[in-house]
Structure 1
């Protein structure tokens, strides 16, 4: 399953008509995430708070949020994301996610993680400590505002993810990535090998411009990656343990059959 998700279900009014989303944004679910996927459009904002590295054979971009496995230094004891640090879109998307329906209708289906503590039955709202403020998923058989907003957000995230993948493939095709040597291993286990752009930021950007990556968004995102080695040195990261970067998309058929393979860093 993707990082954070354990029981995603395709949203429909028959199965989820009485369910809704609690108003409080609790990030406790991300407490043990030491690396989180990011997309190109958010890299300039994310780089102000986190190192960005590109991991695995697919060079998947992630931010580093902890020095050890199962450690996120940016979620406090109350489940709040510490200010003023940027909250990644991947985190804000949860508990929603899109599943690929290409084997049937060729569309993406909005799903919700039923295991999320924010997904509750509206009938239990009066008994909740937060006062019962719940945004319903459906009004009768029609999608409610919470579902419409989630679908819009997830569609934009998916578009950004696809654009990021295309950008990374283009940069990789020009040979601009270089492995970053780890100083050791974590807990006796070698982590995923991170990659970076050339160490000299100006030279790296000049290479990118010369080789046809001239769109402003690609230049800004590449610049974020070029700056990341400095942050990595400050954090003294020795490896990225426990990361699975296989790019296979989430399939609706696998969700319904309960046979989705576990993958940490896919959308």
Structure 2
């Protein structure tokens, strides 16, 4: 469930008094992610800031994601005040604390909410429901966003299924860090340019017309952003070292 902790179906009777503090919205819930799921419609915006890769799911399918950290449980884009530092914020995060759950058998969609989110309360914030029990304008907008995101996720699944069918994805290890302190981030997949160039002439026109070829090259170009991510990692490490040194100096001063 990644960012979700205590998900329940949103109920206009049980949650009649529930409020959302939009002004207090923060990214604390995403602070321990080092990658974030992405839909294909987001590729152009995301590629200007992030590296787009593919993650392999337990069922063997693939999911696009942006890399936001080079260590486990560490997001380089969430600052010390739990705010997103810069750049495009993926829709997967913008839908929080809501989500759509789909029943696999019936296809029925249910709006759910993460009750663990600290921006929810019954005391202050914007009401999710009106006095008559109807959806508030804020909730209606959120539900519209959820519906659009769900549809884009379906289209994204079709794209990654095509990549899998053509066997274009290969596992890659991302190496970062300076000489003598190089580290690795594994478990990611990228499109193999070698395999792509070997595709038959009967396949390429279909990829071009469907928009898949453009998405593939957007993904490949985004790989250049690994240098930017590595620089963020170095900045973060230097900041942590400076903070530790200041803390140690303060402790020594107190002891003396």
**TM tier, shorter chain?**
0.7 to 0.9
Alignment of 1:75-94 (within 5 A): 75-83=78-86, 85-94=87-96
Q: 1:101: how far off?
A: 3.3
Map Cα deviations across residues 124-171 of structure 1 (whole Å, 9 max, x no partner).
Answer: 22xxxxxxxx22111131111122111111111110011001011112
Distance in 1 separating the partners of 2:202 and 2:226: 22
Which consecutive residues of structure 1, in runs of 5 or more, have no partner in the other structure?
126-133, 185-189, 237-267
User: 1:40 aligns to what?
Assistant: 40
Map Cα deviations across residues 70-100 of structure 1 (whole Å, 9 max, x no partner).
Answer: 11111112222113x0000000000000112
Distance in 2 separating the partners of 1:173 and 1:32: 32
Which residue among 140, 149, 152 is the counterpart of 2:144? 152
Using CA pairs under 8 Å that are at least 6 residues apart, name the structure with larger relative contact order, 1 or 2.
1
Distance in 2 separating the partners of 1:204 and 1:60: 23
Map Cα deviations across residues 44-63 of structure 1 (whole Å, 9 max, x no partner).
Answer: 11111111111213221111
Q: How many residues align?
A: 220
Which consecutive residues of structure 2, in runs of 5 or more, have no partner in the other structure?
177-183, 231-256
State the Cα RMSD in Å. Answer: 3.0
Structure with the largest fraction of helix: 2
1:17 pairs with 2:8? no
Distance in 1 separating the partners of 2:227 and 2:42: 22
- 8 Å contact from structure 2 (residues 102, 108) kept in 1: yes
Alpha carbons of 1:114 and 1:207: their partners in 2 closer, same or farther (altered >3 Å)? Answer: farther
Alignment of 1:210-225 (within 5 A): 210=204, 212-215=206-209, 217-225=211-219
Alpha carbons of 1:69 and 1:107: their partners in 2 closer, same or farther (altered >3 Å)? Answer: same
Report the structure number with the largest CA radius of gyration.
2
Q: Secondary structure at the match of 1:172?
A: helix
- Normalised to the residue count of structure 2, the TM-score between the two structures is 0.76
Alpha carbons of 1:208 and 1:34: their partners in 2 closer, same or farther (altered >3 Å)? Answer: farther
- Normalised to the residue count of structure 1, the TM-score between the two structures is 0.73
Distance in 2 separating the partners of 1:115 and 1:175: 40
Alpha carbons of 1:170 and 1:107: their partners in 2 closer, same or farther (altered >3 Å)? Answer: same
Map Cα deviations across residues 209-251 of structure 1 (whole Å, 9 max, x no partner).
Answer: 7162124643332222112333336646xxxxxxxxxxxxxxx
User: 1:247 aligns to what?
Assistant: none
